Amino acid sequence: MLDAKPESDLLKEIPSPSRRLWLGLCIILSIFIVFTVYTIHEVRWLEDYQVNVVQRNRKASLQLLRLQNDAYLLAISMRDMALGQSQYPILDWRSEFNRIRDDMSDASRQESEFAVSTSASDDKRTQLRTALADFWSAADQVFVLAQGGKEAEARGQIQTQLESKRAVITEISSRLLLLNDRGQAEAAEKINAVYADVKREILIVIGALFLLALGTGLYTFEANRKTFERLHHLAERLQSQSEQLRKLSWKVINLQEETLRNVARDLHDEFGQILTVIGMMLGRLDKKVAGQDPQLVEDLHTVKHTVEETLQSIRDRSQMFRPAILDDFGLDQSLEWFVVQFSRQTGIDVHFEGKITNGFFPREDAIHIYRIVQESLSNVARHANARSAWVTMNGANGELNLEIRDDGVGFVVGREITRAAGEGIGLMGMQERAQHLQGTLTVRSSPSQGTVVSVRVPMRKPSVQSTVEKVG
């Protein structure tokens, strides 16, 4: 039993994987976006951390080294000041001490700005400021004593008090440098830990994306496999229906040919004989009434002429429906006769050139070539608005090449072939006939460039058979 489901219902049976694929794509994109935002956040944090911790620690360390260098210069100056045989009095060193004081104050201030605040470093920084204040207070007392002429007492304070206070400054600076180095190491460890976490999370995200992509790919593969299976099943069903439609179409064509054959035979045999008898009777009547009634004789002549024209028209129509000349003289002479009749009836100048050698068509096949030419020229008359047409047929080497060309208005091929399927035989019917002969039919056309219909069908080798006709 033929399943008569329409194609739209058959297509509805095929589920679309688009929704699940879109869902999988959205999940992958969401993970990718979240991971991107997270990575950007971590990178920016690392950049800020390096700027705020590492770089600041380095700058603070530079200022502490600056303090240590100033303390070293103080030690050298104080050594020279403490010598009794020094050629410079103590007061001459005041300008050098003031320069070093300003430099150490600036270094201490910048170190406080750059340094990262911790409880231990803050305590040491407070101690450094206190030590600097004590040192410069003691230094001022030394210069006061020297100004009062107490050089020896001033040198004694330099050796006893001032040097110890300077040593405290150097010690505190060294401790702060150690704290900065420790903070630098901790910052490096923290950065490395963050990098390790980011690497681990990148691997996790890559793994998740891989699993999602794998799952999506497997689902797509399975969905495509099922879809193609159903499409294959649908194609088989459509092919079966197409084959059934082709067989039905061919039965319709055969029925059409049989009908045309019967109509041609009825027109030629029955109506032709009746009109022939009527003509003979009118001829005998004409002889009987000759010379009696001139008006009656003239009317008889008119009726007889009308009957003869009707008889000729019926014979022409009979030949057009089913040309007896095709059975008697072959395809090439039948086409030559047809184009002459077509030109006479339509006023289109049709040129025919054809020759078939070393081949023949069975009688039932030759009629299809004839019908293709007949339908092509009929389309020229109805649609092409052409002045001339050319029919060229060449049969040799086991193949028949037929071409029908016109100089008409032309058309857009794809759209017109589909539209013409319901117009008489139409181009679709012509294609059906060519395919039935195991050949091909192509149509080339474009607006204002005319139309060319090309047919290529195989021919059989000549042999003595009673069921076929020789062509050419």
Q: What's the pLDDT tens digit per position in 210-249?
A: 887 787 778 777 777 877 788 788 888 877 877 777 777 6
| Cα-to-chain-centroid distance, residue 441 | 33
As given in the structure block, the two tokens for residue 416 are: 């017109």
Distance of CA 293 to the CA centre of its chain: 90
Amino acid of residue 368: H
Rounded-to-integer distance, Cα 326 and Cα 367, Å: 8
Q: Where are the alpha helices (DSSP H) in 322-458?
A: 324-329, 331-346, 363-379, 413-419, 426-436
Cβ atoms 399, 437 nearer than 8 A: no
Across the chain, mean pLDDT equals 77
Neighbours of 376 (CB within 10 A): 26
Tell whether pTM > 0.75. Answer: no
Would you tell me the crossing angle of helices 56-82 and 163-265 to the nearest 10 degrees?
160
Q: What is the pLDDT of residue 218?
A: 81
Cα separation, 375 vs 369, in Å, equals 10
Residue labelled with tokens 């901790």: 186
For β-strands 468-470 and 440-445, DSSP reports them as unpaired
Buried b (16+ CB within 10 A) or exposed e, 149-175: eebeebbebbeebbbebbebbbebbeb
Residues of the chain predicted below pLDDT 70: 1-17, 20-21, 24, 49-51, 84-87, 249-250, 253-254, 256-258, 260-273, 275, 282, 286, 289-293, 297, 311, 314-325, 327, 356-361, 363, 414-425, 460-472
pLDDT at 333: 81
Q: What is the pLDDT of residue 322?
A: 63
325-470: which CATH number, 3.30.565.10, 3.40.640.10, 3.40.50.720, 3.40.50.300? 3.30.565.10
Query: Which residues, 6+ apart, have CB-to-CB distance to 267 below 8 Å?
Result: 314, 315, 317, 318, 321
Say how many CA atoms lie within 13 Å of 117 toward its Cβ: 3
Structure tokens at 160: 């006893």
User: Using the 8-state DSSP alphabet, how is residue 421 labeled?
Assistant: G
The answer to whether the CB of 242 falls within 8 A of the CB of 47 is no
Strand partners for 405: 390, 452
Which one-letter amino acid corresponds to residue 458? P
Helix/strand/coil for 448: coil
Q: How far apart are CA 455 and CA 376, in angstroms?
A: 11
3-class DSSP state of 152: helix
Query: From the CB of residue 214, how many other CB atoms can be counted at a distance below 10 Å?
Result: 10
Would you state the pLDDT for residue 225? Answer: 80
The dihedral through the CA atoms of 326, 332, 335, 341 has a sign that is negative
Which residue type sits at 363?
R
The pLDDT value given to residue 86: 58
